Amino acid sequence: MRANYKLLRAVKCIALVAVMLTIVSAVVMQLWNALLPNLFGWHVIGFGQALGLLILSRLLFGGMRGPGRWGPPWMHHMRQRWGKDDAGRTREISRDVTKAVADFSVAVAVQSQCKRKTDSGRSTIRTCSLSRRGDS
């Protein structure tokens, strides 16, 4: 009974992958045929060519890695490096990023509150107070 369940599950997974691959290939074919011949004068492609284009793009841009390692190869390397950071360093980086975002938002708010003054009608001069709130 358990073996039948595993076999049925495998067949369902294979069928789902085939259906999804068919749908994505059809979408790629329709997009290619709707856009590229008109824009660049390229040839119209068929379903098999769209499937081949998907496989080629997966090989070139995604690689042929095993399950659980999605994304470009550099992303896996960076996740490993980030995982080695100690908790203190992570908190320090988070605090620095939060402070930078807060400083930027204050600067944007100050800039939007700047007053415009005209200098004898010739040019427009902006006068701004760049002090932070709470600073005197």
Contact 122, 115 (CB under 8 A): no
Residue 69 confidence (pLDDT)? 58
Does residue 106 belong to any structural domain of this protein?
A: yes
Q: Give the pLDDT of the chain (136 residues) as one tens digit per residue.
A: 677 888 899 999 999 999 999 999 999 999 999 999 989 989 999 999 999 999 888 888 875 555 555 666 677 777 777 766 566 777 788 888 888 888 887 777 666 665 554 445 555 555 555 555 554 4
Contact 124, 116 (CB under 8 A): yes
Residue 62 confidence (pLDDT)? 72
Does residue 122 belong to any structural domain of this protein?
A: yes
Residue 17 confidence (pLDDT)? 92
Residue 136 confidence (pLDDT)? 45
Q: Is there a single domain that holds both residue 61 and residue 98?
A: no
Number of separate domains in the chain: 2
DSSP 59: I
Does residue 72 belong to any structural domain of this protein?
A: no
d(CA 87, CA 84) in angstroms, rounded, equals 9
Residue 48 confidence (pLDDT)? 93
Contact 53, 21 (CB under 8 A): no
Q: Is there a single domain that holds both residue 7 and residue 58?
A: yes
Does residue 83 belong to any structural domain of this protein?
A: no
d(CA 125, CA 7) in angstroms, rounded, equals 76
Domain that residue 108 falls in: 92-136
d(CA 110, CA 133) in angstroms, rounded, equals 9
Residue 1 confidence (pLDDT)? 64
Does residue 29 belong to any structural domain of this protein?
A: yes
